[in-house]
Amino acid sequence: MSAFRPFNDLLNVLFSPSCVSCGKTLVGDERFLCVNCLSQIPYTGFEYTPDNQLEALLVNTIPNVKATALMHYVKNECPQHIVHEIKYHNNLGLGKLFGRLLGSALSDSHRFDDVDVIVPVPLHLFRWLQRGYNQSRIISSGVAETFPRPICNNLIVRSRYTTTQTRKSHQERVKNVDKAFSIKRGSSLEGKHILLLDDVITTGSTVRSCYEALSKIKGVTVSVAALAYAGT
């Protein structure tokens, strides 16, 4: 036995990547999540389901909307841990991985085949500077790998600084993001089908507010995709 073996074992324990959900040390080909957590992700299957819960939530504001989310958001379980890791811990690899999974779901369903461009929901400049990145952009870059469409990053501008939506009631959320977005150089997307991409959709107030801005572009169609749906 090598004299360095105990030292190497200690290094392995200290620096081995662990599952972002349960904390177990990853083995073999596992990346970010262990096989057990990965197998427990509650995928929605919304991409295959016209009139799904998310579409029902949004259709009054966004006419004929097609909408999907990759998974149901479940508190204190794997989906929350994944979203938290992407949103607050700058886990780019995980964001891209789940973006690719969402992109595959969009491609496989063929319901979103006529989408022309992906538009990530923007962060306000202050929040972007504070966090250093926009999680919706990261997820979008993964989506575009398996659902190949151009990403239009600077179309919508978050013109008003809004506080976090996380602990707000439905009414507070609506008021918080009302008229928070505006459009920059929208004419290039006239007549296009835009896929608006967010990390988590709860009441839908953020995507509705983005739609209000996007609808000013002539002849535009808007669909919606998210990593997780937190509605009931």
User: Closest approach of Cβ 22 to Zn ion, in Å?
Assistant: 3
Q: Interface with Zn ion by CB under 5 A: which range of 29-37, 90-98, 105-113, 177-185?
A: 29-37
Residue whose entry in the numeric block shows the structure tokens 């600084």: 161
Q: Interface with Zn ion by CB under 5 A: which range of 1-9, 35-43, 48-56, 212-220?
A: 35-43
Of 3, 43, 39, 6, nearest to 21 (Cα)? Answer: 39
Burial class (CB in 10 A: 0-12, 13-18, 19+), 79: buried
Task: Give the list of residues 6+ apart from residue 37 with CB closer than 8 angstroms, or none.
Answer: 19, 21, 22, 78
How far is Cα 74 from Cα 232, in angstroms, rounded to an integer? 10
- SS3 of 59, please? coil
User: Closest approach of Cβ 184 to Zn ion, in Å?
Assistant: 41
User: Does 19 sit near Zn ion (CB under 5 A)?
Assistant: yes
User: Does 37 sit near Zn ion (CB under 5 A)?
Assistant: yes
User: Closest approach of Cβ 21 to Zn ion, in Å?
Assistant: 5
User: Does 174 sit near Zn ion (CB under 5 A)?
Assistant: no
Q: Interface with Zn ion by CB under 5 A: which range of 13-21, 54-62, 89-97, 111-119?
A: 13-21
User: Does 22 sit near Zn ion (CB under 5 A)?
Assistant: yes
Count CB atoms within 10 A of the CB of residue 43.
13
User: Does 135 sit near Zn ion (CB under 5 A)?
Assistant: no
The binding site for Zn ion (CB under 5 A) comprises: 19, 21-22, 34, 37
